[in-house]
Structures are given as structure tokens and as C-alpha cells.
Amino acid sequence: MIHLSNVSKTFQLKGQSLDAVKDVDLHIEKGEIFGVVGYSGAGKSTLVRLLNLLEKPTNGTVKIADYEMLKLSNRELKRARQEISMIFQHFNLLWSRTVRENIAFPLEIAGVSKAERYEKVAELAKLVGLEGREDSYPSQLSGGQKQRVGIARALANEPKVLLCDEATSALDPKTTNAILDLLHDINQRLGLTIVLITHEMNVIQKICSRVAVMEDGSVVEQGNVLEVFRHPQEEITKSFVKQLTDPEDSNQAIEEQLEQEKGTVVRLTFFGDDAEKPVVSELIRACNVTVNILQGNIANTQDGSYGSLFVSIEGDAAQLNEAIEFLQDHQVEAEVISRA
């Protein structure tokens, strides 16, 4: 569906070259929700603008559906862009127009009759949960409602691809979850291919099937979300994963445990169905050890759960070795953080 091959983008700024995107190769399947995550300045927003040629690549090829984007004439590019919609962090609504008029704007530009436009608007307003708010102005809406208008407007021309550039970054956590649920529902209903650009790993975790991690203009790691969670290769990926799996106060709890000089602190990592099993209680019975739970968290991805748990295990050396073997036999990764 979307193929990027050796795509680079270099900007010339005050006589100096800035490599914003470097030799990126990506393949995104039709109907997939694909995430691109990176910190500020990683190049992810530039990358998404290369997909619809809002920025033209310095090198490489971009193919979306049947379009070889760099070979299109201006007229062909305009037609292709009708199939590649985009939503933004700050909504980009027309503040002097109502919800109805904002959603209808792309159809107006396309020359669709007023009756057909408003029929389509009614359908889209219902789809995104804005039924009854069609005559409101953006200033009368919450942040989540504004983004719903942006999503409805992006769907007006029945695109094949939806690009989301930090679409939830301006929203509170509850509203973010609601918008992500809406995007997932739209993906399921319409079979839309969605590319999500974000700096928040919880956004990736919630609805993406695969992810690419960007740093300094390059894609440094990519793959199935659960597998990336399970075996992060790069330090930046590990830091993103820890945002979800290691609570902020876990280090404090571990330090307190070390000060008390009790037990051996072990970090347990669970994957898939194993995250839901009562492994700790089974461990206590099987190995006759005392287990004190310090901190833990479970993150759910589209392909299963990923859990992280810090525990203190009290017992002699033989019991500890038996406990570690027991955990490994039950497909639980066990990393000894500190020994008593």
C-alpha cells in the first residue's frame, strides 16, 4: 500500500545542510494502523509530509497505492492527494465556519453539489460522534470535538490513507483515548490505512499493529508492536517501552528495598496470555519462597499484553535459582536487579 525506498530529505538553512530524514525504507500494508514514534526533532513530521509530497524528497521513491508520487503531474498529484487525507495536532479548522461547513469544505472544493455535501456531512458527523453539533462553531467545541471535526473533514473525500501528525498531542489522556478509539473504529469500518506520528508510546500501544522508531532522521528500529516491546534493540526504543512498563516510582521502591537488605529484587516481564496468569502465586507454592511485589504494570497492545513486575524474592541461593528456573519455564523473563 505504502512503499518508501531510500527516502531522504535535506533542507538548506542559511548555507548549511540539515538532513531531516535519512535513507528511510518502510512498507505499510493496506488497512494497517502503522505508528511512527520519536522525540522532538527525530524527523517524523517531515517523514509524514513526504508521503503526500507536502515536502518533496531529496532522494528516494514514494509509492502509495497505484501512485508513484514523484512521477505525477500537478493535476495527477492533486487527484492523488484526495485519497491521502491528513489530520493535525492543532486541528487547522476554519474558525468562521460551522462544523457542517468545515466538514463540507473539501467537497466544496471538489465541486460537489450543496445537497450532496450536506448529505455526506450528516453521515460523517454521525460517524465521528458529532450528530447535533453541525451548526456549532469551533470556538464552541472542546479539543476532542474539534479533532472529531478534523477527522470527519479528512474522511469527506473517502480517502484510502489517513495521515495523523501528532493528532492527540494537544488533548488530555481521557480525550486522547476516545480519539484513538474512534480512529480504530474508522479503520475497522472503512478499511482505511492509518499512519500515526507521535512522541507518545501509549498512542502506539493502544491501536497500532506495527511501529517504526525514529531518531536523528533515521528509522532505527521497526516491527510488530508486541515484538518491539518484547525485544527492544536500541536505547531510544527501550526508553519508550519503559514509559509504559516501568512506573515512575519503581526505582524509589527498589531503592527502599535495597536499603532494607531483604530479598533479591527481580524484574519479571510477561508477554501475551502469560501476562494474565497467576505466575507469582504459583511460584510461591512451587519454590517455597517469600515474594514481595514492589511495582508493576500491564500494557495492552493489538497483539497481546506486555507486563512488567518488580518483586523481591526471599530465600537461600538454591531457592532463588529454583525460582528463576521456574519463571523461565513458565515463559516469564526474569532479570536480577540486585541481590540481598
Maximal CA-CA distance, the chain: 80
Spatial CA neighbour of 274 closest among 304, 232, 303, 313: 304
What distance in Å separates the CA atoms of residue 303 and residue 209, rounded to the nearest whole number?
Answer: 7
Residue with cell 535513507: 23
**253: amino acid identity, one letter:** A
Handedness of CA 232, 233, 237, 238 (dihedral sign): positive
Helices (H), 156-269: 173-190, 201-207, 225-230, 235-245, 250-260
Please report the pLDDT score of residue 334 as a whole number: 83
Please report the pLDDT score of residue 250 as a whole number: 54
| pLDDT tens profile 200-213 | 888 998 999 999 99
| pLDDT tens profile 296-321 | 777 777 777 777 788 888 888 888 88
Please report the pLDDT score of residue 285 as a whole number: 86
Taking a C-beta distance cutoff of 8 angstroms, is the pair 102, 93 a contact?
Answer: yes
Residue with cell 508486541: 226
Beta-bridged to residue 87, according to DSSP, are 164
Residue 210 vs residue 291, higher pLDDT: 210
294: left (phi over 0), alpha (psi -120 to 50) or beta: alpha
For the chain, give the percent of residues with pLDDT over 70. 92
Please report the pLDDT score of residue 257 as a whole number: 56
| pLDDT tens profile 177-231 | 999 999 999 999 999 999 999 998 889 989 999 999 999 999 999 999 988 888 8
For the chain, give the percent of residues with pLDDT over 90. 57
Residue with cell 528500529: 221
Please, what are the domains in the chain? Answer: 2-234 (3.40.50.300), 246-338 (3.30.70.260)
Taking a C-beta distance cutoff of 8 angstroms, is the pair 60, 53 a contact?
Answer: no
What distance in Å separates the CA atoms of residue 309 and residue 254, rounded to the nearest whole number?
Answer: 12
Q: Does 69 have pLDDT greater than 80?
A: yes
| pLDDT tens profile 105-127 | 999 988 999 999 999 999 999 99
Mean pLDDT of 125-137: 95
For 140-172, give one letter per residue: b (16+ CB within 10 A) or e.
ebebbbbbbbbbbbbbbbebbbbbbbbbbebbe
Please report the pLDDT score of residue 328 as a whole number: 84
Q: Does 252 have pLDDT greater than 70?
A: no
Grid coordinates given for 40: 522532538
Count of C-beta atoms within a 10 Å radius of residue 340:
15
Please report the pLDDT score of residue 245 as a whole number: 66
Please report the pLDDT score of residue 159 as a whole number: 94
What distance in Å separates the CA atoms of residue 139 and residue 146, rounded to the nearest whole number?
Answer: 9
Residue 326 vs residue 338, higher pLDDT: 326
